Chain A
């Protein structure tokens, strides 16, 4: 990608990037639920990853994560929801108790990960999301500040991995180091 790159992806690039991401995830995170494509004719492309189970003293909480391409911001957007076993949705307060302490701070302070409730573009129901209006900016920063990229131009395939290394952190979903490494080659 050229220096003038603005941190965004076309929908075709998103398809390539997300497919590569799902494949690598399967390889390096085999113990976690996998990402799969969902057919959505005439709608933005998206992948999902349902039923991440978090267990603690208060019972099981289920997390569903969806990544939907935003045509207006030209970036991937993470949508998620959390609910108890019987389907009762968790409030934002409950969710904040589930996620790592430093992420909770990140959410309240950082302008990169602005958590809000919005209509899921495919399901048409309100889901939580990390608002995408800063994404292209920080993706640009993230990719341009990576020294190794100066030598090896960034491939579209690496986009999603880098992106998820930031947004996944919020939920304590860490990207295995090998995955970043793999993506760079």
Chain B
């Protein structure tokens, strides 16, 4: 089906990415429709759109994953196109089919292409046919076959869901003894996450880097590659820090990887924005998967190439031809700020934003849906925002990021910003000693202990307890408290000598 012009775009997502897509859509003159769950009625993305539709209760399976409700919202609001964002329905071929069947335009690849690439086994097949190198592996959930593979490929091996990505259902198995348990748990996670319990087992590379290539394909058969992103700093297979260009990456390897990614996209008949992910081991690289959607970390590519990838996506969906891609310039670095407690094994954190201090200045971009009072619950992914810094050299960008992280404070929702500052400021990161084991090797117990900072925190807490510091949780007060008149600083004379108890 040849794409056509559309006028009103429904964004089937929430959080920072919904806001990011709405911004571009409005800039290009489109009307926008937000969708929201009952938990998100007062969210930033709802306010930013021209129109908004409730699609269900808080639970994602009944709202943001509710295909029928989302199609109905599009019809009801007069939207003629749907952008899926990332996560949720963005890589569900059945959603694309439903959008097509409703006579709407899907901003992304065609359903059959998505289905082929979303399945690890058929994606590998396409890669192999396109002479793109792959990691040795087999599809099986059978213990005996898995044992045989482990014995021949050598441990450790990686057990993962055949469907989907993002680290769900993924297990590293160190020896044959743990294989049975790993297969069982991974199959269960795969079943609950993707409704598909099939497993894929492959050789686990000990210290690889994760490097990926951004591609754009138009409806006229043209595929362009927009350089690489190094996303090696990960925790539980989830990216935390991304940068472009990849440091210590020779032009020969870069060219070879870009070539491989382009072949892959062409072989798959890929259209719209996508990412071809690779594991880099020395100068050898292996195809990992294709993410058939916009990536979380797309802004670092936008900055280097001076483009707006969402705008490109919309143009492609309207049937326009890809324009010229400019040469990349400078460096860009992104930190994902997640609602997690780094001091407690990165367990998810919840709460309402009581106070927000955001960074700024040249070369600093903060993509976030946060605002004072915004609640972060347990229902959805805990990405609070993406802090993106750019500049001429990696070192300039690294210092800018440290400074920007120092400016950032999110009171009320425990998050990873402080920890990421330590990561970016570390010697190992400055020397670009990147691998997917970076955090295990350099931060095995999470944040480093800083006793003076802990002391400062204790003093701050004591001051809050005595009403001499800070504001109140908007969830607790009625909001009528006047911050100037009732400031703790004006309530008490500053230099009063007083004692507790």
Do A and B associate with each other? no
B-binding residues in A (CB < 8 A): none
A-binding residues in B (CB < 8 A): none
